[in-house]
């Protein structure tokens, strides 16, 4: 197991068990206690867990919102796989919306070789990724800039989105739950995401497995408002099967 994979697995272990000792993690992942201590130190510096005497406790939940640049390293390879598959769904001539988020940032990187598409985003980091994209028309919504996510949100953002209609909206969420729908920690972000769904012919949700069964503060959509979910193969089979029964297309990567 590579270092980044091990760190992700440590976070998943803490999500499930809420706390763990260094010895317990060392045995679970078959590495030395010094390696685990180093992993925990780096994950604490990234504000993804809290170290305790002899171990660590979970900080990760759907309402905990680390800086977007920190989140970019979380499940990086899975997000990249999701983005590559999502890019295959974009056709020449499409007008697309890219929500703010680290998975949509990976998708933006896949768009640099595409031509004859229009991209609208509320994300400063997505815009920066596309700044040298010569063969696509790129637009940024206005609004209030949230420093945590580097996303523009609020009434100005929604007013600019109301002026357009797009072929596909690529949406991110902090929580994806069958009963409670799609959620995010911030009310303004939720309202902006709601508008992104309203103006799209097709809504494509991009989510890594850590979002499944998580519930954040602000709900912005029912799960059946999504046309397609792109998620990694490790997602719970019971979850993806249930979506299929609801008529939602699921693409596993």
Task: Evaluate whether residue 146 is within a structural domain.
Answer: yes
Could you tell me the maximum CA-CA distance found in the chain, to the nearest angstrom?
A: 57
**68 vs 148, higher pLDDT:** 148
Supply 81's token pair.
Answer: 């796989």
Q: 125 is in which domain, residue-wise?
A: 69-252
Number of domains in the chain: 2
Residue 28 CA to its chain's centroid (Å): 27
Q: Residue count of the chain, please give it.
A: 253
Number of CB atoms found within 10 A of residue 251's CB: 16
Of 58, 85, 105, which residue constitutes the final position of a domain? 58
pLDDT higher than 60, residue 205 = yes
pLDDT higher than 90, residue 60 = no
d(CA 175, CA 150): 19
Report the pLDDT value the prediction gives residue 62, as an integer from 0 to 100. Answer: 56
Indicate if 53 and 74 belong to the same structural domain.
no
Q: Give me the percent of the chain exceeding a pLDDT of 90.
A: 68
Contact 212, 178 (CB under 8 A): no
**Mean pLDDT computed over every residue of the chain:** 90
11-21 mean pLDDT: 83
Indicate if 54 and 73 belong to the same structural domain.
no
Band (pLDDT 50/70/90 cuts) for residue 74 is low
CA distances from 36 to 9, 76, 94, 129, 147 (A): 12, 20, 46, 34, 31
Task: Evaluate whether residue 64 is within a structural domain.
Answer: no
Band (pLDDT 50/70/90 cuts) for residue 73 is low
Indicate if 188 and 123 belong to the same structural domain.
yes
Tens digits of per-residue pLDDT, 222-244? 999 999 999 999 888 999 999 99
Indicate if 91 and 156 belong to the same structural domain.
yes
pLDDT higher than 90, residue 1 = no
Indicate if 30 and 136 belong to the same structural domain.
no
Tens digits of per-residue pLDDT, 84-129? 999 999 999 999 999 999 999 999 999 988 889 999 999 999 999 9
Task: Evaluate whether residue 63 is within a structural domain.
Answer: no
Indicate if 133 and 233 belong to the same structural domain.
yes
Supply the CATH number for residue 17's domain: 1.10.10
Task: For residue 207, give the 3-state DSSP assignment.
Answer: coil
């Amino acid at each position: 197991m590579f270092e980044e994979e091990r760190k992700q697995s440590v976070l998943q272990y803490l999500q499930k068990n809420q706390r763990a000792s260094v010895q317990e993690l060392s045995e679970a992942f078959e590495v030395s206690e010094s390696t685990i201590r180093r992993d925990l130190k780096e994950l604490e510096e990234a504000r993804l867990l809290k170290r305790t005497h002899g171990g660590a406790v979970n900080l990760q939940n759907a309402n905990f919102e680390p800086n977007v640049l920190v989140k970019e390293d979380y499940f990086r390879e899975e997000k990249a796989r999701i983005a590559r598959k999502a890019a295959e769904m974009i056709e020449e001539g499409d007008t697309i919306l890219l929500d703010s988020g680290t998975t949509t940032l990976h998708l933006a990187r896949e768009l640099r070789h595409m031509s004859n598409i229009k991209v609208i985003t509320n994300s400063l980091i997505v815009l920066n990724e596309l700044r040298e994209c010569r063969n696509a028309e790129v637009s940024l919504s206005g609004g209030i800039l949230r420093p945590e996510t580097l996303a523009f949100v609020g009434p100005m953002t929604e007013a600019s989105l109301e002026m357009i209609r797009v072929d596909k909206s690529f949406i991110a969420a902090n929580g994806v739950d069958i009963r409670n729908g799609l959620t995010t920690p911030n009310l303004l972000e939720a309202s902006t995401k709601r508008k992104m769904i309203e103006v799209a012919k097709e809504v494509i949700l991009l989510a890594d497995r850590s979002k499944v069964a998580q519930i954040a503060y602000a709900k912005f959509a029912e799960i059946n408002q999504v046309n397609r979910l792109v998620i990694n193969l490790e997602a719970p089979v019971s979850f993806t099967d249930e979506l299929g029964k609801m008529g939602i297309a699921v693409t596993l990567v």
